[in-house]
Structure 1
Amino acid sequence: MLAVLFILGMLCPLNSAEIPIKLLDPTNDGVVANVFPNAFLLRWPDCTLYGNRSAGLVYTELPTNDNKTQIFTVPSCTASLPGLLLQNLKNGTTYIMEYKIEGTNQTSANLTATTTNALAYEQIDSGLERRSGAMVVITVILSLAMVILLVGLIISIFFS
């Protein structure tokens, strides 16, 4: 029975197989980040099956349901590109994304991800109002060292 199932499994085409879609992971994939304030870094579709084929990434902005498509060519397995960078998105917005391979009916599962909220550069506090204890200790030591050097200089001038 197992042999019959194995033979039937080999004969069935994989037309209904889904293309995996996910964000690149900073810990496993060696990228700096997978979610940016206005972009996503997505893993490419499998290069062994879809290398050098035209594909599309359909993404929908959830609050407004605006659909957009980005057409690209899946790189071959010899290419060393880390992933597909989806840019010019809105900060703090949720998107639904899916791959579609041109010329076939194959699509990926839906991936839902949210861009991070980014502060405007004017809102970043760069002041130094609070100081750590180490900064205070170093400042006191340097101030005392300077006073001791000045006193030593004055004494050496009077005795010389």
Structure 2
Amino acid sequence: MSRQGEQDARWLAGYRLVAAILVLLVIIATLVGGYQRHREQALATSLTLLGEQFAERVQRLHGRWLDERRPARLHAEGQIWQFDERGWPLGMAPLMSPSADCQQLWQGAMGSLQSGNLALQFRGTTGGCLMGIESHWLHYRFADGRVLPWRVPQDGTERG
């Protein structure tokens, strides 16, 4: 084989290697993107199911509050629950800070502060509690006991 032919063969092998690496990078990027989408969907579904369970337990506490003739504090499930005037649980007595009250409320109703390997985060708001994982949040409203999805945009403003 001539010197030019050997050089052409080396260049061709280099081009094949670059093409193989590019194809491999495209495959990896596609897999990572698919994993992220499925992970986000799984987080959203998991939090939605947890929110439904939380709402059911809060509804039960509200029912007990009504049965007990609307006390400000209710002894139930081994805890002392603090209620607002409409009968929705605010947290465990004695009340502390809004975020800590939300955390205690969730833990008292659900028994755990984690969803799988991810720890839930809690924020107290004027009219309720925000509970979430990463970019997925739920809003528990003291006004009516509803638990709704909540969006917290990247700019720090909050909206439902």
TM-score class, shorter-chain normalisation, is under 0.3
TM-score, length-normalised on structure 1? 0.23
TM-score, length-normalised on structure 2? 0.23
Greater fraction helix: 2
Question: Which one has the largest radius of gyration?
Answer: 1
Q: Bigger relative contact order, structure 1 or 2, given CA contacts below 8 A and separation 6+?
A: 1
